[in-house]
Each structure stands twice: as C-alpha cells, then as structure tokens.
Structure 1
C-alpha cells in the first residue's frame, strides 16, 4: 500500500504543474517535437554546420544523450528555477506560469528523476527511461517518456508530463 501511495505522490508531484495550464499549453500536435531553429540555445551543444543528423538519430548521439540526461535532471529538480525549467520543457515559454506555480508545490519539492536509458527514434525524438524519485527513493522505476529536439535543445516533452497527469488519477487536466 505504501508503494502505491509513493507512486501516486510521485506522479502527482511531477504532474502538478499541468493542472493549472490552459488547454493550448499541453496540446501535442502529434509530431512529438518541432524542427530546430537556426539559432542555437545557450544549453545546446554546438555542432558544425556541415554535420547532418543520422536517419534514426542525431548526428552526435553521445552529446545528445548527455544533454537529455542533464535537461531531465534539471526539469525534475525541485531546486531548479522556473527559468531553467522553461528552457528544458517542450513549449516551455507557454507553460511558464504553470512552472512558476509548480515551484511552491509541497510534493514537487520531494520529487526528482534519474535517466537510466535513452533510445533515439528519429533525429528529433528519443524515448527516455527514467526513475521518478520521491525523497530519493524510486516511486516510478523504469518509467518511459520522450524527449524532443526543439530550438536546438533536447527537451522533456509535454506528452511525458501529460502521461504523468493521467497516472496521477487526474485524467481531466486541461490540455491532456
């Protein structure tokens, strides 16, 4: 029973940010990501202009995996600023008010994530396996999510957060 309670607490903590978002903020166009813009992000690794992504993954999978791991850690870090979370969430600018509200959530202050595997499914999307932790203890071990390349940065997808909202028992969350 305690394990189920921790699982729901972890899912709710991670998903609490979506409860307040307008429907447009969480919508997913089905593409899973967007075409990278020509302007590199401050957190994105730089690559030569001549490198082309592989058909089934990015041009530099090791650098992309490292960025995914760092960005997921940042996104689920209760100590990270709203601004830092905006930078690593797909469509983060649209969700800024929601992320700011998330900063004060008691359950979120106990939650974090540890990426355990990254598998690229295209040059702009990856399946991420991670453990959602509550107080450092795995509450959702081996959870699956996606990361998308947006604005030259590998970001936590909105689909991932909406899946956590559904898991928390709040299937009626706006936009999910």
Structure 2
C-alpha cells in the first residue's frame, strides 16, 4: 500500500491533513533551504519479498514480533522522551533534528501508531502494517513500513520515517534520510 493513499478518502481528510502538517513541522526543523513544494508526494516504503518463509523469520518470531509492536508504539507515543525514541529508530543518533522537529510540534505530540501486522522478510527485516492516529482518530490506516534489527534491537526503519516526513511536500526529508 502506498502511504497516504487513504488521504483521498473524504472522511479522513481533516485528520490526514493534520498528520501531514505534523511531518511538515518536522521537516521544516531540519531543512536548510526553507523551500516548499506545492504538491504532496505519496511515498511508499518498498517491501522485501525475497525470502522463503522458513528462512525469513528470526530465531524467535513471536518475541521479535512483540518487540517490533512495542518499539513502534513507543516511537510514536507522545509521552516518550526523544532519547528513548532515538533508541528504537534505526540510526536514531543521526535523526536528531527530524525527531526534534516532530517532538516539538504540538500536533506531533498527539500522533500514535498501532501495529496491525508484521511479516518477516529475513531474520533482520520485517514489513509492518500499522495505522497512525491523531488525537485518537485514525489518520493513516493500513500504512506500510519496515522494521530492522539493529544492534540486537528491532527498530522503526529510517526509510519508514523518511517516507512519512516526505508527506509534508518538501523536496528533502532532512539529515539522515
């Protein structure tokens, strides 16, 4: 599924527009050019489809799935401090400015995620289907992203965060993307 494809649905336009504004604020915080595009891209995160089911999963798929869900929900939890979010984001130490912009925006403090499905594509990669909510209302249902195992922890992938930030319409998602 293409991120933002549900933005065209009439019943979710207001909430979806608010989510786009959240990511616009994150991008503005790290974009040196200050430029804006008038079109909103509909980025997607490429899903991997190459592994055999038996070779595609980590040694303990149930534990890995539980950790992915917990870490995705932590990453998108407004109450979680930035350092804790960086710990569950791939290359989190390089994504500081994007996270500062996101965490510093009032609307960003109202966005949460609910993981609906995890499909392992290798022992260290997974496709994740999730929904983003804004103030409890579903803004991006059935969004696609990826999780990666890095340094022994399952994390939200950088390409997932960058795809979400691109929803703001800016040319560059910022440092780290």
TM-score by length of 2: 0.74
- Aligned partner of 2:15 among 6, 20, 27: 6
SS at match of 2:104: coil
**Map of 2:136 onto structure 1:** 136
Per mean C-alpha deviation after superposition, the further-off stretch among 101-110 and 115-124 is 101-110
1 or 2, which has the higher helix percentage? 2
CA contact (8 A) 1:12 1:164 kept: no
CA shift in 2, pair 1:104/1:158, >3 Å = same
CA shift in 2, pair 1:145/1:15, >3 Å = farther
For residues 141 and 25 of structure 2, the distance between their equivalents in structure 1, rounded to whole angstroms, comes to 19
Aligned residues: 147
CA contact (8 A) 1:71 1:156 kept: yes
- Spell out, residue by residue over 1:93-132, the C-alpha distance to the aligned partner (whole angstroms, 9 max, x if none): 1123432343221110111000000000111110000010
For residues 131 and 163 of structure 1, the distance between their equivalents in structure 2, rounded to whole angstroms, comes to 14
For residues 6 and 13 of structure 1, the distance between their equivalents in structure 2, rounded to whole angstroms, comes to 11
Unmatched 5+ stretches in structure 1 = 24-31, 33-53
Give 1:21 deviation, angstroms.
Answer: 4.2
**Map of 2:40 onto structure 1:** none
TM-score by length of 1: 0.74
**Map of 1:122 onto structure 2:** 122
Give 1:147 deviation, angstroms.
Answer: 0.3
Give 1:161 deviation, angstroms.
Answer: 1.0
Give 1:2 deviation, angstroms.
Answer: 6.0
Give 1:135 deviation, angstroms.
Answer: 0.5
Unmatched 5+ stretches in structure 2 = 1-9, 33-46, 48-53
SS at match of 1:128: strand
Give 1:13 deviation, angstroms.
Answer: 2.3
What aligned pairs does 1:156-171 form with structure 2 within 5 A after superposition? Answer: 156-171=156-171
- Spell out, residue by residue over 1:8-46, the C-alpha distance to the aligned partner (whole angstroms, 9 max, x if none): 3224425643544489xxxxxxxx9xxxxxxxxxxxxxx
